[in-house]
Amino acid sequence: MSLLAVTVSASTAEDQAYFAIFAETKLMRIAGMPAMDIPELPAGVSLPGGISIPGKPSRSLNVRLWSPSIAPSNATATVAPPAGLKVGGQLKLELYRPTAEEQSGKGGGGGFNDNPEFTVKMYWGSSATVQPGQPKIIKWGTLTPEQRTEMNKRTREAQPGAQGSYFYKPDWTTGYWPTKSQAGAIAKDASLAGTYSLTTNYTGNVAVDVPAGMDFLAPIELSSPNLDNELDFTKTLLFQWKPIANTLGQSAFAMGAEGKNTLILWTSSEVFTEAAMGDMGYLQMAEVRQRVADKLFMPADQTKFNIPAGIFKDADFAMLNMVAYGPGAAADKAQPLPRVQTKSTLQVMLGGKEMKGAR
């Protein structure tokens, strides 16, 4: 099968639209709570708000269609997925158009407060103890308005279920799936491979093939620490997991809070960079390989890292996000320009003073 079958008129950089299929395998754990033995939900059914059952791997497919204009009121967009995905014959995308407030640039609040004493402590690297020169400390009151805006943005996007980067772009329309009427849960025996055909009446049509060797990644399953028990933050936290086939690179990011005015960040990156503090979303394969080469990401064959002893010992709560980036498919020219990307994610609520005994 060819990668693409395209029906398209000539496009320019100004009117280029983008079509994305993001395939994710998810697992969520809570330290101090054994994995829950709950029966599988029926195919196509998911919990409200994309909630995950602790200890139960799940698969999700997110479809996005970005077009550089506000679509007319009669605009429609649908995707015909392969039968092996087991989600029916048609995915009907809902369309999101920015509000007047967002268009003016006044939307998208949230993030940190403006207390000048607010402090961010940044740690990095897989070491048993805190290394010399760490943490890097940033006081909110010393940042420029532009730096504050960027840090707020990164923090919001690092949160579980963050949707801002998927939906809002000034003067653009976003088509998206799952929707309220189609929940989007993917069966564990479903296959990602096959042809996905997009049909619209406002921004072009395109079809993309996912080759037979490309599928949902395996879940990230930890063998250490034992998450049936609460964790001791005064000690080094060793995280170890089973190798994940077809992974290109991996990253881990942890955050915790001490009171209202101190945020603690840690990343598995071997070198310091503010850009490594969070889930980078769905990166293309070349980007993942470059980040591995730059030692910002862990290589595909790495199966363990440490969080240094003591960095979260006074935290009210702390959590870990881990990502394994998998293969993808893309095209150089099409309208819309299609892309498929895979990843496996793990979210662990690590604990903290406010979570003691919360199980």
pLDDT for the residue numbered 1:
41
Q: Running DSSP on this structure, what letter comes out for residue 126?
A: S
Q: What is the pLDDT of residues 133-168, one digit of tens each?
A: 999 998 888 888 887 777 766 665 555 444 445 566
pLDDT for the residue numbered 72:
96
Give buried/exposed letters for 264-288 (b at 16+ CB in 10 A, else e). bbbbbbeebebebbbbbebbebeeb
Q: What is the pLDDT of residues 234-251, one digit of tens each?
A: 999 999 999 999 999 999
Q: Please choose, from the candidates 294, 303, 300, the residue with its C-alpha nearest in 3D space to the C-alpha of residue 326.
A: 300
pLDDT for the residue numbered 159:
52
pTM of the model: 0.86
Q: What is the pLDDT of residues 42-62, one digit of tens each?
A: 554 555 545 567 779 999 999
Q: Please choose, from the candidates 23, 70, 83, the residue with its C-alpha nearest in 3D space to the C-alpha of residue 175.
A: 70
Q: Please choose, from the candidates 346, 328, 321, 306, the residue with its C-alpha nearest in 3D space to the C-alpha of residue 218.
A: 346
pLDDT for the residue numbered 12:
55
194: left (phi over 0), alpha (psi -120 to 50) or beta: left
pLDDT for the residue numbered 164:
47
Q: Which residues of the chain have pLDDT under 70?
A: 1-12, 36-52, 100-114, 152-168, 276-279, 356-359
Amino acid occupying residue 175: G
pLDDT for the residue numbered 7:
47
